[in-house]
Structure 1
Amino acid sequence: MRKFKVLAIIIIISAYLFACGNSKKETINIGCSLPLTGEGANYGRSVKEGVDLAIEEINQSEMFDLPLKVIYEDDKMDPREGVNAINKLITADNVPIIIGPFGSSITLAVAPIANKNKVVLLGASATADNIKDAGDYIFRITPPNSKQGNDVASFCFNSLNSKKAAIIYQTNDYGTTLKTAFESEYLKLGGEVLIVEGVDLGNKDFKTQILKIKSKQVDVVFFPLHVAESGNFLKQSKELGLNVKFISCDGAMVDDLLKLAGNAAEGTYYTSLALAYGMNDSLINSFNTNFKKKYNKEPDVYAAYYYEVTYILAHALKKANGNIGQIKEILYSINGENAYNGITGLTSFDTYGEVDKSFSIYVVSNNKFSLFK
């Protein structure tokens, strides 16, 4: 009987070793942290659409021997959920590189985990200035809020002839850094900032702030808010008869804003991440065509930037040729003559994993975001 037991154990062990020895890796897995549910789900939808289109094209081109596969984790655009998402991607899924996170606060919350585990984060939307110092494994293809805030202030003062401003901002890393940059530059140019008020994510009632603005006779309102808050703010401003110029940033410039605000969005301005029009028009046209074919709609700027960042990630993986430890250095080598030339222009990383790119000004006209001339 004992011999039979020993034989059975040997057979089981042999079968296990045979299975392990014959198991083959079927995909190259990468991670993506994004908001699929909650207040930021509209952003997550754009992210996923851009990434999925790029992955589909990359796999069809047979760039790799195995297909790329994205493991998505929902961070709900919440720092605590973001930590859970990154921990799972790193420890359970063992991904070598992660796209995202979308939001600045989430990026800053998870950066220490990525640095400790030597896993690269490659973002395409988080713009808070302090991400620059988040660590060696943190990269982004978007410029910081200090540049965006300065550009908004200059546009308001010089192009809109504004001299008295109010600021209603989101009380997170994104909104705070934009508020600070705008206020500093606007005052430097000679303007006055008469009201500065912060609101929390999820705030739905702006009547108190709007009435304060009306009492101060400002000529422009800068509102770096996310899309849900922006929609409510514009709608209530129209209802209360606040007749001034309005300008916001990339966090509000998605089609959901037009649905939420309705005709209250007409004539409002936005700064957003720029595409390389006049430089790479053929690449942009190809992306737009393929996107519309797949999703039957126009892409927004976030879909474009996450499409681009997925290609940059694939470029780094291809060059690493299986040596995961080289990915960080390969990304740092993308600069100068080795810059990546795509639909967002030249991506050239500096020693902080930062890029120098432009923002464009858009205006809502006939219920569409149009490039402002």
Structure 2
Amino acid sequence: MNVLKVALLIATGLSSAAYAQSGPPIKLADVAELSGAGATVGTNWKNGIDLAVAEINAKGGVLGRKLEVTHADSQSNPGVARAQVQKALDDNPYVLLGPGYSGSIKVTAPLAKKAGIAEIMGGEAADLTQAGNEYVFRTSFGGQSSMPKVAKYIADDLKAKTVAIVYVNNDFGKGGRDVISKDFAERGVKVVADLSTESGQADFAADVGKIKAANPDAVFIYLNEDESARILKELRRQNVQAPLIGETTLTGQKVIELAGDAANGARGHVGLTTDAPVPAIQAFRDRFKERYNYVPDHNGIKGYLSVYIVKAVTEKMGKVDQANFAKTLHGMTITPEQEPGILMEVTYDDKGDIDRQSFLVEVENGKQVVKKVLPKLGKSASN
């Protein structure tokens, strides 16, 4: 065989390999809360997705194919979310992203399961991954993972014997309230006020009055971001002195911006924060701020991670394989060494729940300050 023939064969082989890894765009469908009470959640989520898509496409896409994402507005309404997800699934996307509200996920997850399409979502209600739907995956901790850590902190670190609970009356809020109430009971912490509030509620004067009357050792707050800012202002106005403890939605960037000085002193367990002492997360924050001119909250990180999860799973399979995507992600560990866009090592279990580092934070002078880094729980998984 002469040199010319060898060269032609090599060129043909390279061309075939390139062709095998190229093709039409990989379609992703996002349904998020772009208006209504959850607009802060959905807008951050969407912007995180778009940033990740732009970064990945700028580097050649996934297996040589560009990502293409469409966005639909759930209007923060489960009925609208269901209709938008059905419309998105009719177009047969590779993966479904969102929604962020737990109530919307409850009505959309069965649709994704029926279509055999993985749904990478932002909801945190404890029961979302407990119903046996193998196509649902989290981007953050569920209440069943985070609430025991919060209860332990209130009981062991704060030495609180009594607590007031304020929660939002939706799937997210009720799920968290149910889990932490059980944890408080197991630790001997008495709930002296158990207050249900409404999504989008503007006036918290009466609720805070009941908290003052109960005189708890600590207050646990589990509301959405906008309402968290409002109740923090009212708690400060009525001079409630008890420690204010919550989860990600109490101490996030949007809450700090809306509440101003009233956010100072609020503490919480957060799975994701742009103030984490992790260089990759800080670099993400800078890129996000440069693109959108504001600092993202945890929802922005979750949206960003959802796309890099798609990339990591697809590259592990070595092909765009919708049918095997969910099966591959179960039990998978993704490290920043394998995929820098994942920011922190994450492991998925067989239910779609995650295990990774998390943080205890306190708001000081208008910024989240990480007080403690909590390690992974160490569940076994495959790489």
2:224 corresponding residue in structure 1: 226
Q: Select the residue among 46, 59, 62 that pairs with 2:60.
A: 62
Give the SS at the match of 2:30. Answer: strand
1:174 corresponding residue in structure 2: 172
Give the SS at the match of 2:291. Answer: helix
Note the alpha carbon deviations across 1:288-342, whole angstroms, 9 max, x for none: 3433332344333222222122111122334352332222222225249999765
Following superposition, the deviation at residue 275 of structure 1 comes to 6.6
Q: Which runs of 5+ in 1 are unaligned?
A: 1-23
TM-score by length of structure 1 reads 0.85
Are residues 1:164 and 2:168 paired? no
Contact 1:136-1:352 at 8 Å conserved across structures: yes
Following superposition, the deviation at residue 88 of structure 1 comes to 1.2
1:309 corresponding residue in structure 2: 306
Indicate the RMSD between aligned Cα atoms, in angstroms: 2.6
Relative to structure 1, is the Cα distance of residues 190 and 263 closer, same or farther in structure 2, using a 3 angstrom cutoff? same
Relative to structure 1, is the Cα distance of residues 361 and 44 closer, same or farther in structure 2, using a 3 angstrom cutoff? same
1:80 corresponding residue in structure 2: 79
Relative to structure 1, is the Cα distance of residues 296 and 200 closer, same or farther in structure 2, using a 3 angstrom cutoff? closer
Contact 1:339-1:347 at 8 Å conserved across structures: no
Q: Select the residue among 148, 151, 154 that pairs with 1:153.
A: 151
Relative to structure 1, is the Cα distance of residues 284 and 259 closer, same or farther in structure 2, using a 3 angstrom cutoff? closer
Determine the C-alpha separation between the residues in 2 that align with 1:215 and 1:277: 35
Map 1:43-54 onto structure 2 (within 5 A): 43-54=41-52
Relative to structure 1, is the Cα distance of residues 339 and 182 closer, same or farther in structure 2, using a 3 angstrom cutoff? farther
Give the SS at the match of 1:197. Answer: strand
Map 1:1-373 onto structure 2 (within 5 A): 26-64=24-62, 65-91=64-90, 93-123=91-121, 125-134=122-131, 135-274=133-272, 281-318=278-315, 319=317, 321-332=319-330, 334-335=332-333, 343-373=342-372
Contact 2:289-2:296 at 8 Å conserved across structures: yes
Determine the C-alpha separation between the residues in 1 that align with 2:278 and 2:249: 25
Relative to structure 1, is the Cα distance of residues 58 and 336 closer, same or farther in structure 2, using a 3 angstrom cutoff? closer
Relative to structure 1, is the Cα distance of residues 35 and 52 closer, same or farther in structure 2, using a 3 angstrom cutoff? same
Determine the C-alpha separation between the residues in 1 that align with 2:343 and 2:174: 26
Q: Which runs of 5+ in 2 are unaligned?
A: 1-21, 373-383
Following superposition, the deviation at residue 277 of structure 1 comes to 9.8
Determine the C-alpha separation between the residues in 2 that align with 1:275 and 1:344: 11
Give the SS at the match of 1:39. Answer: helix
Note the alpha carbon deviations across 1:104-136, whole angstroms, 9 max, x for none: 11111111111111111012x311121113411
Determine the C-alpha separation between the residues in 1 that align with 2:85 and 2:50: 20
Give the SS at the match of 1:241. Answer: coil
Contact 1:276-1:345 at 8 Å conserved across structures: no
Relative to structure 1, is the Cα distance of residues 238 and 322 closer, same or farther in structure 2, using a 3 angstrom cutoff? closer
Determine the C-alpha separation between the residues in 2 that align with 1:207 and 1:190: 29
Following superposition, the deviation at residue 346 of structure 1 comes to 2.6
**Max radius of gyration: which structure?**
1
Contact 2:218-2:242 at 8 Å conserved across structures: yes
Contact 2:245-2:266 at 8 Å conserved across structures: yes
In the alignment, residue 200 of structure 2 is paired with which amino acid?
A: G
Determine the C-alpha separation between the residues in 1 that align with 2:33 and 2:175: 21
Relative to structure 1, is the Cα distance of residues 218 and 356 closer, same or farther in structure 2, using a 3 angstrom cutoff? same
Contact 2:163-2:219 at 8 Å conserved across structures: yes
Following superposition, the deviation at residue 256 of structure 1 comes to 2.7
Determine the C-alpha separation between the residues in 2 that align with 1:277 and 1:252: 15
Following superposition, the deviation at residue 354 of structure 1 comes to 1.9
Relative to structure 1, is the Cα distance of residues 346 and 229 closer, same or farther in structure 2, using a 3 angstrom cutoff? same
Determine the C-alpha separation between the residues in 2 that align with 1:297 and 1:122: 25
Determine the C-alpha separation between the residues in 1 that align with 2:291 and 2:367: 21
Give the SS at the match of 2:195. Answer: strand
